[in-house]
């Protein structure tokens, strides 16, 4: 029960950035990166111009902001297929996976985002938040990484403190 309460707190934290919760977006799903790649094969037969890519990015961002995470994931898959060097795409797809309760793929995307230098502290913070529901030790590790890049990250400090408290109780 305690873990569930902490999980809900993490969800509230992650959605506090002007995101309004929508119950249908929190349903558990088995969307994986591999499954979604099949959707991007449709792009092979279409020649993309800068305008098409900008339109695709605008559509992806719009769905992301409107909590249409399933559609956002599909669109970010296409963008990544076209340009896999943009950490922003991985970050936003990772966040979308998190909101769809697919922590495994979210973590993979946040790791890529951080490796590309995009919102490094927040990427590590979100990895820590995802791990905080299943493995406090790993959560603390990534939250510490977040704090290396932003020592004033209050969310990372709070979640790390909660994880440390649970770890100390379990000893």
CB neighbour list of residue 160: distance below 8 Å, 6 or more residues apart = 128, 139, 140, 143, 144, 147
96-123: pLDDT as tens digits: 999 999 999 999 999 999 999 999 999 9
Is there a single domain that holds both residue 59 and residue 102?
yes
DSSP 19: P
DSSP E strands: which ranges in the chain?
Answer: none
Half-sphere exposure of residue 62, counting CA atoms within 13 Å on the CB side? 6
68-97: pLDDT as tens digits: 999 999 999 999 999 999 999 999 999 999
Global pTM?
0.74
∠ CA 147-118-18, nearest 5°, is 80
Is there a single domain that holds both residue 62 and residue 103?
yes
Cβ-contact 148, 119 below 8 angstroms: no
What is the number of structural domains in the chain? 2
Is residue 83 in a domain? Answer: yes
Percent of the chain at pLDDT above 90? 68
Is there a single domain that holds both residue 94 and residue 136?
no
pLDDT of amino acid 46 = 54
Closest Cα to residue 72, out of 116, 124, 19? 19
The domain in which residue 68 lies consists of 50-116
């Amino acid at each position: 029960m305690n873990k569930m309460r902490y999980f809900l707190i993490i969800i509230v934290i992650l959605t506090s950035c002007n995101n309004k919760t929508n119950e249908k977006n929190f349903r558990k799903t088995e969307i994986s990166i591999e499954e979604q790649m099949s959707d991007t094969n449709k792009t092979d037969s279409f020649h993309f111009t800068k305008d098409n890519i900008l339109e695709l990015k605008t559509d992806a961002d719009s769905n992301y902001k409107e909590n249409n995470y399933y559609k956002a994931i599909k669109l970010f898959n296409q963008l990544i297929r076209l340009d896999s060097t943009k950490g922003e795409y991985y970050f936003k797809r990772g966040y979308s996976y998190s909101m769809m309760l697919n922590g495994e793929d979210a973590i993979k995307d946040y790791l890529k985002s951080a490796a590309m230098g995009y919102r490094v502290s927040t990427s590590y913070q979100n990895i820590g938040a995802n791990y905080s529901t299943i493995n406090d030790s790993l959560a603390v590790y990534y939250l510490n990484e977040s704090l290396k890049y932003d020592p004033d990250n209050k969310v990372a400090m709070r979640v790390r403190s909660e994880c440390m408290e649970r770890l100390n109780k379990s000893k």
